[in-house]
Structure 1
């Protein structure tokens, strides 16, 4: 049919800000043979009723990058594409009511400075200088962001659309996609006006993303993890004083956010826009009696002012002028939410050449950066910034409908809440539990979720405060601190046991498996009966993943990786094995115990027939407590130890016998302390695509001389020749109550020179330890740096390139 191309390189489904930004950035990358399908008019859906706020603030490094890029793009877009745009860079004032909130602001300021942003922390007496009409009672201070502002969502979308069209991309309005099919390695996107064959397809369908996602289920897809919230904002009538002030000074008021009360307040022409995120929130389209309509493009929900009345009243007390005008309109529209509030950008799990750019809670603020990221995924196969925070594969099979609804409501009701390191968000627990879960809870286990798997973070004793309120601190001091210390000391002096369900396990076997694995990883592979760590790089030589490689036979391997990496690494392995090599996943069939400490051999000798004289990095089948088990001589805790893997049904007896043998249960937070003292890296913290293997100090896992080529070899050789820009370091930090969180800024001679990737108190070395990346010339033992921890610069000293604890590894090899 005329007007519908029969082929395209990429088809994008959905014409909101994110879909159109994706098309624009694909065209900018030279991929102009792309088509966007919109079932109604552009901006239909969340975009048309969006408030249009464009913040940069985040305490997530990747989200901040994405939002910062959006502000930079929007400031030049109108001129670039010759389209008029109402983009008001007003700045913003974010209010704090507590010391903890001010610490969060200081952290954001440090991260922003590293990204080239000029965030400013204000004292209470400085706030009125930025916002003259505010009442400053009960405030502790504020954060000022000069780059914040607001934009007209419709104009933004149309400007991106014009830019994309001018470069040759096609936009088909009033052309709903009706389904997809796959034939001869190509996608066929079906519409009412005809079919389009394409190489890639993108689900950018906003709050319809779950419906669109169902089309991909026959091709390996899953139900998109999302739900839809009702979000209201209130528009007041005009306020003469505001109109007069704006006319006099020539600009609008800064956008005001009271994050502890949970609302934003923005000047809208001469009035106000008040947008609350209320705890007593409402989800929509969650049951059969309330189905999602086929078309809700330019519709709204009925007003529900009662839900937000208290928060609106608080805003009017904070800025009394807002209370002098009547309410002119209430906008109540749908916003999609993923269970953690971050969008889905990247490869569609399990589906070839399909991508997601959907479930955006802040689609206008993130839309510019999201289009950049999505275009990089498709055209380059990798992204400039590590985007695991938004990768669709971060969720696996535990995100059923009830989970998504409960978590979505929790995230919405706590939209501006602080994400304290010791706090667990309580909604939707126990999605996946180990065979000894109940026993661990009986022992005082305070649980955390890891890819949905419940693991003990620490073990409380009678009388310990285990309330949520106790965890609302950035510092390490709390009831857990003494318990973590005791757990670490037990592993150091005696023997501890950690139940670790959810390890991602892939059994790879078949003729040629050994040759495939040599080319898959950057280094060598173990001999039969041995194990070692292997790394996989992307084409830039950056760290894609780390796996434990256990060689059972000449062409039989078990690859074990982090729980959170299950779908990421599973896809990586399955997509690269040759014909004749099979991959069987056993993640859910088996459970694991870490048994570690100088008395671990004695304990196991009393309950196992294993040959406990076998050395470091060996493995064997044996029985433990009369049950079949698989023992690996390895320890992430950095002490003599074994991993004991067994089928789920066998584990309760094994665990009981280990406890009866004197092992003290320890948790994930103790393990984190123990591994940091050894300089052991954690995936998607210390190990991410933000860094190359050489920067990460992993050259010993790269074999440039092996005959097999591996992905990233050319890039790593070139980097080795010219030298790295950053180097991995271990730091001893003169920290006070707070250890260095991820992405704390490192300083030297008044300049930012790097960042931490993780930090914790080391109870064996009795010091605060941080791992990080620093400018290569400063990665010299003894170099003094400063690490900025929640606004306070603390002395940090670069340590020798060896573990702080047991540098000769004598204890591990004992």
Structure 2
């Protein structure tokens, strides 16, 4: 029975009164959506928020994430004036120090990325770092970074201030209410059941922090996060510590410091974390801490005493051990759940909730109101995970590692080690026996490269060339000159069938997919703004049956996007068939020779043109052969039923021996595709980039009947002279020695103009190759490129680069269409 004055209906119900839930309520109300009810089971901020350290560091590896935190700092700076409640916001800046040459290289790379993203940053010496933070010793410090725009806040005060701002604009906040069930009907959320009564709702937002996973389970939604213990201490007063002391980060020691009442808060992220509450989070865990664990904290304390020797003679005022939720990849979870319409999630903030809450709350509010994200949020999109990522045993083992990644060295191509192997292709054991070194994508074990006989099959990380450079050169050479086989079984495959399949897909795809049976179409899938939601290949298998092949990480995201954009009355069905089919890419000028020895099918240009697919015999197996390439050579992607995969692979290797066939991995694939300038989704192609800016207008059909999602925005962009100031271009370094990895700053005539989105060594071109996003002050045209000089900032050193709108390797793309 409902309590007196307890609402029985609301447009928006938010579960959870931590800083993120209050931020969502604040932003919905500020946007004029006043029918908002926020429910908190205890008191505001009583879960994780109250014991957060309150650090706000602006810079993140993705520009889109940096923009969210930059907005947070702007919001926190003016919130007190708006609400009259203090937030404790202090733009005191931050110092990050390096103890090793590798860490200093990383900080120099960070500085370049910060400048490219418009974040104020200075590279400083050890003595300059000490000037800004006099309490530390710097004998072992190589240098550091100073970021004046960083700061700190009081998490509880900030939460109360956001809550007051929400109330001032019409939102209702009710404490002491526990949600016991979530109601659904016909695949959509309809309300919540609480211990005070039931509330009908159009939209429910799960900001339940550590309880978010359990709330998701109430309605069949996967929220993959796990709690771990997170510890810090507060010291007694220390001479020289004042309220304006910057935040200090010493990532080589896994530690951070900030001032608090004349003493120091010292905490960190130990390399191996301690997961908590395997049997579920206790319901009434409000304003509570876990027992002190000095053994777990020891590695942090040892490093703190190195940095601040005075701490040895300073008392500890308080030991905080508060659990926080962490996700499998250290990024938070945001967005509408693919399993349930109108059910949104904002959780799993991995000790970054205070910094991220302002921007994440606004982004989620906009997503709710607009029906989709208003910027590139894939790094935190809940649809980057699948149901298997919510396995509690897997989560427990993975979270032990991800907490420690906060201050671990962010090596290029860094792979996670725990909870693996996870998903394995049919060839995993065969490739492992051939010295494959595996990486992981969407849980799939994928061969990155193949170690030579006698070589340890491991990745030796560095910021320069890594130990696999020469191995990949050989794989690269084989693909360009002979033939190579890539196991690309992790590709997501979506089968679209039904009476209206063609018409519905044609509305969703920018290219025309109403083609002959057997034709293959490369297309973008766009949002209403004309930006990329995905890019994929469409195989028309029958009149109303299509196979969509998309990226490994995109299965849940793309399936959700496509389903949501089907007309609800249409006769059309989408099925994820990824696990049923392997993909073996046979690529290189001798690929036709190899396949001819195994099939009766005619593989000539006349009988089997480029961008077509056929069902063919291959040894004993029957496969779908798709004549496409991601490496810029003659080749076929073979879609093989999983049960035939091992036999097909063995036949290919036996038949290909005389043609120099060899295995190749994803590191080679990346270099090959970048030499050709082929774009990749979530790298060059994002929700904020259009096909015009990406140089992919050829994959858009403006004239097809019925139009497509994003067409109006693209037509407007064509007429907008400013649209092409942003563009994706290819850069090739003029010096053959440096190794680019992505994230570096791009300079035009000495001024930052953009950043490297993807990079690898181009062994055919003999230098590092990059695809870059330029944001210029004028239209980026061939004339613009010819009339300016370009450089790439690699850890503070600038290297000249040649710019291209069309790849210098086989610019007319004649090689993939070779006859024989």
Displacement after TM superposition at 1:264 (Å): 0.7
Match of 2:295 in 1: 306
**Secondary structure of the equivalent of 2:330?**
coil
Cα distance in 1 between the residues matched to 2:44 and 2:539: 52
Q: Which string of whole-angstrom CA distances, capped at 9 and with x for unpartnered residues, describes residues 657-707 of structure 1?
A: 111122200000101111111111111001111212221112222222223
Displacement after TM superposition at 1:280 (Å): 4.3
Whether the 8 Å CA contact 2:498–2:571 is kept in 1: the answer is yes
> Is 1:334 aligned to 2:313, yes or no?
no
Whether the 8 Å CA contact 2:736–2:767 is kept in 1: the answer is no
Match of 1:190 in 2: 193
Cα distance in 2 between the residues matched to 1:710 and 1:280: 49
Cα distance in 1 between the residues matched to 2:263 and 2:524: 57
Cα distance in 1 between the residues matched to 2:442 and 2:271: 26
Kindly report which structure 2 residues correspond to 1:516-665, keeping only aligned pairs within 5 A, or say none: 516-525=504-513, 526-578=515-567, 579-613=570-604, 614-660=608-654, 661-662=656-657, 663-665=661-663
Cα distance in 2 between the residues matched to 1:463 and 1:137: 41
Candidates 136, 140, 143, aligned match of 1:141: 143
> Is 1:813 aligned to 2:817, yes or no?
yes
Match of 2:224 in 1: 225
Match of 2:265 in 1: 273
Kindly report which structure 2 residues correspond to 1:219-298, keeping only aligned pairs within 5 A, or say none: 221-222=221-222, 224-239=223-238, 241-242=239-240, 246=242, 251-286=243-278, 288=279, 291-298=280-287
Bigger shift: residues 781-790 or 270-279: 781-790
**Structure 1 gap ranges (5+):** none
Match of 1:716 in 2: 714
Displacement after TM superposition at 1:753 (Å): 1.9
Whether the 8 Å CA contact 2:267–2:300 is kept in 1: the answer is no
Cα distance in 2 between the residues matched to 1:622 and 1:696: 35
Whether the 8 Å CA contact 2:271–2:408 is kept in 1: the answer is no
Displacement after TM superposition at 1:503 (Å): 1.6
Match of 2:375 in 1: 385
Q: Which string of whole-angstrom CA distances, capped at 9 and with x for unpartnered residues, describes residues 712-760 of structure 1?
A: 1221111100132212211112356544433422222343222222111
Distance 1:810-1:467 versus aligned 2 partners, 3 A rule: closer
Displacement after TM superposition at 1:151 (Å): 0.9
Displacement after TM superposition at 1:186 (Å): 5.2
Cα distance in 2 between the residues matched to 1:765 and 1:655: 30
Cα distance in 2 between the residues matched to 1:167 and 1:114: 37
Cα distance in 1 between the residues matched to 2:408 and 2:375: 25
Cα distance in 1 between the residues matched to 2:141 and 2:736: 25
> Is 1:787 aligned to 2:761, yes or no?
no
Displacement after TM superposition at 1:3 (Å): 2.5
Candidates 328, 333, 340, aligned match of 1:344: 333
**Secondary structure of the equivalent of 1:302?**
coil
Whether the 8 Å CA contact 1:237–1:325 is kept in 2: the answer is yes
| TM-score of the two chains, using structure 1 as the length reference | 0.95
> Is 1:357 aligned to 2:346, yes or no?
yes
Candidates 212, 217, 242, aligned match of 1:214: 217
> Is 1:798 aligned to 2:803, yes or no?
yes
**Secondary structure of the equivalent of 1:768?**
strand
Cα distance in 1 between the residues matched to 2:154 and 2:85: 12
Match of 2:731 in 1: 731
Q: Which string of whole-angstrom CA distances, capped at 9 and with x for unpartnered residues, describes residues 164-212 of structure 1?
A: 1000011111111111112475511111222111111111000111110
Cα distance in 1 between the residues matched to 2:794 and 2:11: 47
**Structure 2 gap ranges (5+):** none
Whether the 8 Å CA contact 1:433–1:501 is kept in 2: the answer is no
Cα distance in 1 between the residues matched to 2:793 and 2:402: 28
Displacement after TM superposition at 1:254 (Å): 1.4
**Secondary structure of the equivalent of 2:772?**
strand
CA RMSD of aligned residues (A): 1.7
> Is 1:666 aligned to 2:664, yes or no?
yes
Distance 1:778-1:581 versus aligned 2 partners, 3 A rule: closer
Whether the 8 Å CA contact 1:779–1:798 is kept in 2: the answer is no
Displacement after TM superposition at 1:583 (Å): 1.8
**Secondary structure of the equivalent of 1:172?**
strand
Whether the 8 Å CA contact 1:398–1:432 is kept in 2: the answer is no
Bigger shift: residues 518-527 or 610-619: 518-527
Match of 2:183 in 1: 181
Match of 2:428 in 1: 437
Candidates 689, 703, 706, aligned match of 2:704: 706
Candidates 496, 499, 508, aligned match of 1:511: 499
Distance 1:522-1:281 versus aligned 2 partners, 3 A rule: closer
Q: Which string of whole-angstrom CA distances, capped at 9 and with x for unpartnered residues, describes residues 15-68 of structure 1?
A: 000010011111122222111110110001100111111112332333322222
Bigger shift: residues 302-311 or 181-190: 181-190
**Secondary structure of the equivalent of 1:761?**
strand
Kindly report which structure 2 residues correspond to 1:40-119, keeping only aligned pairs within 5 A, or say none: 40-119=42-121
Whether the 8 Å CA contact 1:494–1:599 is kept in 2: the answer is yes
Cα distance in 1 between the residues matched to 2:381 and 2:746: 27
**Secondary structure of the equivalent of 1:88?**
coil
Whether the 8 Å CA contact 1:757–1:771 is kept in 2: the answer is yes
Kindly report which structure 2 residues correspond to 1:194-205, keeping only aligned pairs within 5 A, or say none: 194-205=197-208
Q: Which string of whole-angstrom CA distances, capped at 9 and with x for unpartnered residues, describes residues 322-372 of structure 1?
A: 222111210111010001111101121221111110011211111111101
Whether the 8 Å CA contact 2:424–2:444 is kept in 1: the answer is yes
Whether the 8 Å CA contact 2:56–2:151 is kept in 1: the answer is yes
Cα distance in 2 between the residues matched to 1:778 and 1:212: 48
Match of 2:365 in 1: 375
Whether the 8 Å CA contact 1:118–1:145 is kept in 2: the answer is yes
Distance 1:696-1:758 versus aligned 2 partners, 3 A rule: same
Kindly report which structure 2 residues correspond to 1:737-748, keeping only aligned pairs within 5 A, or say none: 737-748=737-748
**Secondary structure of the equivalent of 2:55?**
coil
Whether the 8 Å CA contact 1:728–1:779 is kept in 2: the answer is no
Whether the 8 Å CA contact 2:436–2:457 is kept in 1: the answer is no
Match of 1:406 in 2: 397
Stretches (4+) displaced over 6 A: none
Match of 1:758 in 2: 758
Whether the 8 Å CA contact 1:227–1:337 is kept in 2: the answer is yes
Whether the 8 Å CA contact 2:112–2:744 is kept in 1: the answer is yes
**Secondary structure of the equivalent of 1:575?**
helix
Match of 2:480 in 1: 492
Match of 1:458 in 2: 449
**Secondary structure of the equivalent of 1:572?**
helix
Displacement after TM superposition at 1:807 (Å): 1.6
Whether the 8 Å CA contact 2:15–2:208 is kept in 1: the answer is yes
Cα distance in 2 between the residues matched to 1:396 and 1:695: 31
